[in-house]
Structure 1
């Protein structure tokens, strides 16, 4: 994930630490991370490393420092000239159809992959009358979806549908990405190759991101009615909110205070504040008046609108003084972004 870290740090424009970039690609569920994703237009790579099995991005960030690809002044990290040169060599990165915030953040791509992989394997094995195959891993709900597909359409018909669909979609992508994706699929008597096994002339990072980008491409396309269970979980669960914030939302609309929500959910106050900021950013009907006074919101909005968007929360708090807490500032900022989004 070194290349992704370099790219994200370049987009953060020396306004966040290396840890801030790591949190973004790992899909950390914090209000600060979610705000940064919106502020610096990093939705494409948000959560990109959530299902990455290689070296932890935190360790990779340390490697970037040691290799003098990035430097840090205080809590702000920046690419060195050497870092920018290395980033320029990864032109393939910008050619990928990758939608991390939409498909990786809440695990949609991973669930889709498990269902698709099992369907390809099961339909192929059953059509060839090989009922003794060792199924690839899938959650119980995902296995049920695959059974439903094969039971209703039949293994041979499912095979034809899958072949036609995948052949048509993969023909629109680069041969390299298509080959990687097909090699990852389980077959009649095989489990499919791992990212590590496929890495050779390409890095594990490139193999991983090309594979995931194909998943994203497939997920945004139209699927035959018989294969709809493969993507039904996307629309069913699709929300810009994290799962935990969705649970907090119920209590917010019941008029509960921060303290009451924390007690009811067994969460820290800071976690509830994260959820409230997330709701304020994405929910147009969020009852802000229950959590910040109109005067305080007005005062902080003036400060925020006249400030540099790259200023840290600490710098904004110094400007605000006693006009608002850290939470008040974050909430006001989220509400402003929500309103700007509604106007655009």
Structure 2
């Protein structure tokens, strides 16, 4: 998937319902209430936080290319796609941003340092400059290497075999696999820079970086499935065990203890609107969430009916026809899973 294809995939889901900057916040992994709820509203889980260091200027340039290539219409309020864009196929992708939430980088840092260490020590080299300087990653790798008995050459060979086997079985292109492998360093061999990789593949740097993340997500899924004895350990703490953000989890615990929305805001010294964001997130992720303390069932039905009739999740459009509903109630109703309604 190229970077412009990623933007277009998100825009196709939110056409005429969000602004031109909304995909930017989603791709960077902004943990605002709006972005989190859009993930659920429009089923955008795969794309969340896949390029956390994305530069706004680079994003704007990509959007301008979409205008120039006839995918976007001028609209100062919202994203508006052309028939060409609406007819365009969204390429399948192994991206799973919400599941990993940036932890694929920790996985790769661990892998990079392990590969570098095994490559050097198997050649009798005990002193070298570590490719990863983060102390927590170095500490984790030292513990892991001791656990697997890394000085045993049969262990080194098994690690290499498991690495190659799982990567071979990962359903990604050969270019994806090459980008990933070319970022690794070993004995007397340095990983390539993003510029070198982009030039060699005739790609833009952002495209190469996105394909790298795709490769990692696909490979990690293959490792989870196969559970190879040595590689599965690298997944420790990588997968998000809860679909909730940490701050929403704290609100959930207080709510379960019987505190009201306003009391939680006071206890946590946060704005009421922030706690409302947390409840929207809870509704989005918990199929058993009880929404009745916040939204009367009849009002809930009215909000859902209005959304379906007008084929929109724009709060302003729904509010205009249901003035008795607050924006929070509309957001909450739209976040609730359909099986609850």
Asked whether the two chains share a fold, i.e. TM above 0.5, the reply is yes
1:131 equivalent in alignment to 2:126: yes
Instruction: Tell me the CA shift for residue 132 of structure 1.
Output: 1.9
- Contact 1:120-1:159 at 8 Å conserved across structures: no
Match of 2:167 among 170, 173, 176: 170
Q: Deviations over 1:121-180 (max 9, x none)?
A: 122222222222211226444333322221022223443233112211332442211111
Residue in 2 that maps onto 1:120: 115
SS of the aligned residue for 1:131 comes to: coil
SS of the aligned residue for 2:79 comes to: strand
Q: Which runs of 5+ in 1 are unaligned?
A: none
Aligned length: 328
Residue in 1 that maps onto 2:213: 212
Instruction: Tell me the CA shift for residue 68 of structure 1.
Output: 6.3
Match of 1:153 among 119, 143, 148: 148
1:185 equivalent in alignment to 2:184: yes
Residue in 2 that maps onto 1:109: 104
Cα distance change of structure 1 residues 140 and 244 upon mapping to structure 2, 3 Å threshold:
farther
Instruction: Tell me the CA shift for residue 66 of structure 1.
Output: 7.1
**What do you get for the CA RMSD once the two structures are aligned?**
2.9
* Partner Cα distance (1:157, 1:243) in 2: 41
Q: Deviations over 1:289-326 (max 9, x none)?
A: 44x15xx243132331343342410111112212x210
Cα distance change of structure 1 residues 63 and 199 upon mapping to structure 2, 3 Å threshold:
same
SS of the aligned residue for 1:321 comes to: coil
Residue in 2 that maps onto 1:100: 97
Residue in 1 that maps onto 2:320: 318
Match of 1:244 among 244, 247, 255: 247
SS of the aligned residue for 2:207 comes to: helix
Instruction: Tell me the CA shift for residue 57 of structure 1.
Output: 2.7
Deviates more, 1:299-308 or 1:313-322: 299-308
Match of 1:230 among 220, 234, 237: 234
Residue in 1 that maps onto 2:335: 334
TM-score under structure 2 length normalisation: 0.84
1:3 equivalent in alignment to 2:5: yes
Instruction: Tell me the CA shift for residue 274 of structure 1.
Output: 0.9
Q: Deviations over 1:16-48 (max 9, x none)?
A: 211122222222223332333233332222222
- Contact 2:95-2:214 at 8 Å conserved across structures: yes
* Partner Cα distance (1:286, 1:150) in 2: 44
Greater helix share, structure number: 1
* Partner Cα distance (1:79, 1:129) in 2: 59
SS of the aligned residue for 1:187 comes to: coil
SS of the aligned residue for 1:225 comes to: coil
Residue in 2 that maps onto 1:268: 271
1:253 equivalent in alignment to 2:248: no
Residue in 2 that maps onto 1:298: 298
Instruction: Tell me the CA shift for residue 183 of structure 1.
Output: 0.4
1:25 equivalent in alignment to 2:27: yes
- Contact 1:283-1:338 at 8 Å conserved across structures: no
TM-score under structure 1 length normalisation: 0.83
* Partner Cα distance (2:210, 2:160) in 1: 23
- Contact 1:146-1:229 at 8 Å conserved across structures: no
- Contact 2:4-2:62 at 8 Å conserved across structures: yes
Residue in 1 that maps onto 2:204: 203
- Contact 2:306-2:318 at 8 Å conserved across structures: no
- Contact 2:159-2:230 at 8 Å conserved across structures: no
